[in-house]
A and B are shown apart, each in its own frame.
Chain A
Amino acid sequence: MISIRNLNICYGQTEVVPDLNVDIARGEFFTLLGPSGCGKTTVLRAIAGFVPVTSGQILLDGADVTRQPAEQRNVGIVFQNYALFAHMSVRENVSFGLKVAKKKGAEIKTSVDRMLEATDILEHADKKPEALSGGQQQRVAIARSLVMGPQVLLFDEPLSNLDARVRDDMRKEIKRLQRELGFTAVFVTHDQEEALSMSDRLLVFNKGVADQIGTSRDLYSKPATPFVCEFIGASNKLEIKTKAALGIDAATLAYIRPEEIALAKDGEHAATITDIDFLGPISAIEVRFQDELLHFSAVGSDALHGLALGQEVRLNIDRKKILCFEKGVLVQ
């Protein structure tokens, strides 16, 4: 559906994206994930046609659109700040593109009504955007793009301006619309939890370079680079003494996920509890092990029973689950 070939984008002298290759399948929910300033939004805007490509190609459905102006691509985009037309009502906002395309009045009304219905904002059709909540404005922005029947819908950090609860609802809503209407979604975010929960596949950006492309589970269990490992999920970076105790070469970069560490009466390693954070269903535990700190969690409040700061405990660490990198590449 979308093919990006040897994409290179420079802003003046700065190379933002050196060389990117990725194929996104029809109907896929694909996420570009990375910290701010990594180039993910630039790639998204290049797909939309708002950023000039220095070299390389962008293909939509096999057609080269690299030099095509934005208005001819039939690519929808939902902006971080929604970019609603403030002087138009919700209905006028959603009709805008169809009017530009010179569709007939009756046809416009039917499509717009259907889309307002699907996004659950029909009752607000005659309000101005400023009278709507953030979540509702977001729905208008989505409806406005979807009504054009785009091949691809791009999302530029669409949830970052919403409060936590609305954000969760909108996540589900976007997924539902995508499943029901079957469009290809390219989603940009810096929030890894959001990315992991929504995406079919993800691309992790590190300074303009794609460190890894894969499913959420791939990225979590087999991170291709230390950057991906640190960026996706929580992990303990093992320091020199810990590595020695676990029999890992000092030159190897090693990480362990918190869930691979467990308290056990007859555990193999000794450690001292330095902090306990009771969080309800789970608790975060910090221990001193070989003079270095490790973080992991314990499930349920029973697990905390009889634990106190400064107490000696026994741990099991699954040696086989330690993620080891040599020369920046995963070796185990």
Chain B
Amino acid sequence: MTGLRFQKGLYYIGIALILWVAVSFIVAPIYSVLTQAFVDGSRLDFSAAQELAASGRVRSAIRNTLIVSALSVVTVNIIGIFEVAALEYLDIKGRRFLKFAYAMPLIFGSVVAAAGYNFTYGQTGVVTRAIQAIFPALPNDWFSGIFAIVVAHTFLLTSFHYLFLRAAIRRVDYSVIEAARSLGASNLRAFRSVVLPLLLPTIFAASLLVTYESLGSFAIPAVVGGQRFDMIAELILTLNSLRRPDMAAMLSVLLGVAVILCVLLLQRIEKRGSYSGGAKTPVAIQRIKLSNPVTNILAHGFAYLIAVLQLLPVALVLLFSFAPAKSIMSEVIPTSLSLRNYAAVLSGGEAFTPLKNSLFMGVTAVAMALLVSLFVVILANRHRNKLTTVLDLTFMLPWTLPAPFIAIGLIVTFATPNLLVGNQTLLGSYWILPIGYAIVVIPLMIRFLRAAFYALDPFQLEAAQALGAPPLYRFMRVTLPAIAPVIVLIAGLNINTILSEYTMSAFLFNVNNKPLSIALFEGARSANPEQAAINLVYMTLIMVFSYFIISIADRYGLGKSSSR
């Protein structure tokens, strides 16, 4: 009996712990942002909003963000739908190569992609120099501002189309297309009036995700946008560093509202579900040969052009990561290759520190987040009551809020000694960043873990109980082994997300814990070839890690965790 009592005790300590986490790191920060934005002393105050509205820079940042988001949705859909059609609807030769190329955004995202695009098309970029060799009139900064941001978004945010629209078109029952054709419809008409309506909910969902990502886009505008082009996320950081947390908070509330609207719409689409067609035996879609030779050549040409554009930055980063520093900002194709850059990073010197920091913070943040998520899911599974519902929703909040919102919340809450954390000042300490990371990854962890728990066979647990196993024993010997593979994968995916996480990092890092993404960002803006060489190694290492994790996750059907 003492064993059982001990387990009960552990259980209540656990509940207390997650309540503390929820209050300290989610509720309190959100509360802080709202009071910063709307309250002065003890009364409502809208001066922050008025000041924001009066500032030309803020207005232009909001306008820029809206324009970039609107343009991105259009261009991403054009490229994304074409990519999916080229892979799954049309018979284009070299499908495996195209698939590989179109999958690049899965491993090439956030600050890595920003640095990669800068390395390829930026002021001293390889492509810039290659074009200048032919057309000397090309200005150094041709790839900047809104154009550069939208181009980068266009290719990088196709990952949602690649993942979800492809899955959707594969679910289309091919006999529906044949039925339409037997009734006299051409291929194009069949696509337009039968296939497209079935895909529309998915296209809409992907568009919302693109909007969501564009609204909060940070690394890309910061690296390729140029000095005079602000978007909202960047401006929030600027306002914060100008000691105007009230304005920063107000702006993040604005961003938060926009993002929440996206999320709400998204959930409505998810709830409505997609047309299943009721086919008990769906026939796999067959790719259509274009009979008109001109259309066929055009389709092939366009498909390969996109593939090259998707691959180019990745290939150049990989290639030049083996090039000597002196060739990096001068050559178009490196004349000699070596492992020297890798040795410089991995030998443990100064260049190793950000990598070490990010790995350590990634692992600790994921461990903390896993512990909390597991307990939340177990609790919600065992007891369905108001408390568990509220807890569940609370921990899902960080998914519906943009990262700058949460970051500002943590900054404001922990800039002064806070009783919630033993009267410590967390801001400026090592731990604030891993805590931020953990908060951001918890929602997806809960989603995946919940799915894993649903998939468990309840009779196994009942069998164990009937055989006399106490709760903790059942959990350790029956539940945990069954969901262990999912846990390992979730951990891997989230460490991967954290390695290139930029927004939280930019708000919360300090000299003690400078993470990889910040080092990358600084390297991308530096004119020092040595720095550039180290950057290329960082990027390659992150991509290799991502590739490894995502291939395993893909095999187990987990897909890619959405990264900010």
List residues of chain A with CB under 8 Å of any chain B CB.
48-50, 69-77, 79-87, 96-97, 100-101, 129-130, 137, 141, 144-145, 148, 161
Contacts and interface: CB of A to CB of B under 8 A. Distances in A.
B276 interface: yes
B175 interface: yes
Contacts, number: 91
Most A CB within 10 A of own CB, among B173, B182, B275: B182
Nearest to B281: A81
A77 B278 contact: no
B184 A71 contact: yes
Most A CB within 10 A of own CB, among B173, B194, B279, B283: B279
Nearest to B177: A83
B178 A84 contact: no
Nearest 10 A/B pairs, CB to CB: A97-B183, A83-B175, A86-B275, A83-B179, A81-B279, A86-B277, A79-B175, A70-B181, A87-B197, A100-B184
A50 B178 contact: yes
A56 B283 CA distance: 27
25 contacts: A48-B182, A71-B184, A71-B185, A74-B184, A75-B182, A76-B183, A79-B178, A79-B179, A81-B173, A81-B175, A81-B282, A82-B279, A83-B175, A84-B176, A85-B180, A85-B194, A86-B278, A87-B275, A100-B180, A100-B183, A100-B184, A100-B189, A130-B276, A144-B183, A148-B184
Most A CB within 10 A of own CB, among B276, B281, B282: B281
Interface in B235-283: 275-283
Given A50-B178, A87-B198, 4 more contacts: A48-B178, A71-B181, A87-B197, A96-B180
Given A97-B183, A97-B184, A77 B178 contact: yes
Contacts of A75: 182
A74 B184 CA distance: 7
B186 interface: yes
A86 B173 CA distance: 10
A85 B275 CA distance: 9
A308 to B, nearest CB: 45
Interface of B: 173, 175-176, 178-186, 189, 193-194, 197-198, 275-283
A70 B276 contact: no
Contact of B173 (A83, A148, A161): A83
A161 B282 CA distance: 12
B393 to A, nearest CB: 32
A44 to B, nearest CB: 11
Most B CB within 10 A of own CB, among A50, A72, A79, A84: A79
B183 A84 contact: no
Contacts of A144: 179, 183
A129 B173 CA distance: 14
A278 B183 CA distance: 50
B198 A86 contact: yes
Contacts of A87: 197-198, 275
A48 B279 CA distance: 21
Contacts of A85: 176, 179-180, 194, 197
A84 B182 contact: no
Given A70-B178, A83-B179, A87-B198, A137 B278 contact: yes
Nearest to B189: A100
Contacts of A77: 178-179, 182
A77 B178 CA distance: 9
B280 A81 contact: yes
A156 to B, nearest CB: 8
A77 B180 CA distance: 10
Nearest to A88: B197
Given A81-B283, A84-B277, A161-B280, A101 B179 contact: no
A5 to B, nearest CB: 22
A83 B279 contact: yes
A80 B280 CA distance: 9
Given A85-B176, A137-B278, A161-B281, A70 B182 contact: yes
Contacts of B278: 82, 84, 86, 129-130, 137
A75 B178 CA distance: 12
Contacts of B183: 71, 76, 96-97, 100, 144-145, 148
Contacts of A48: 178, 182
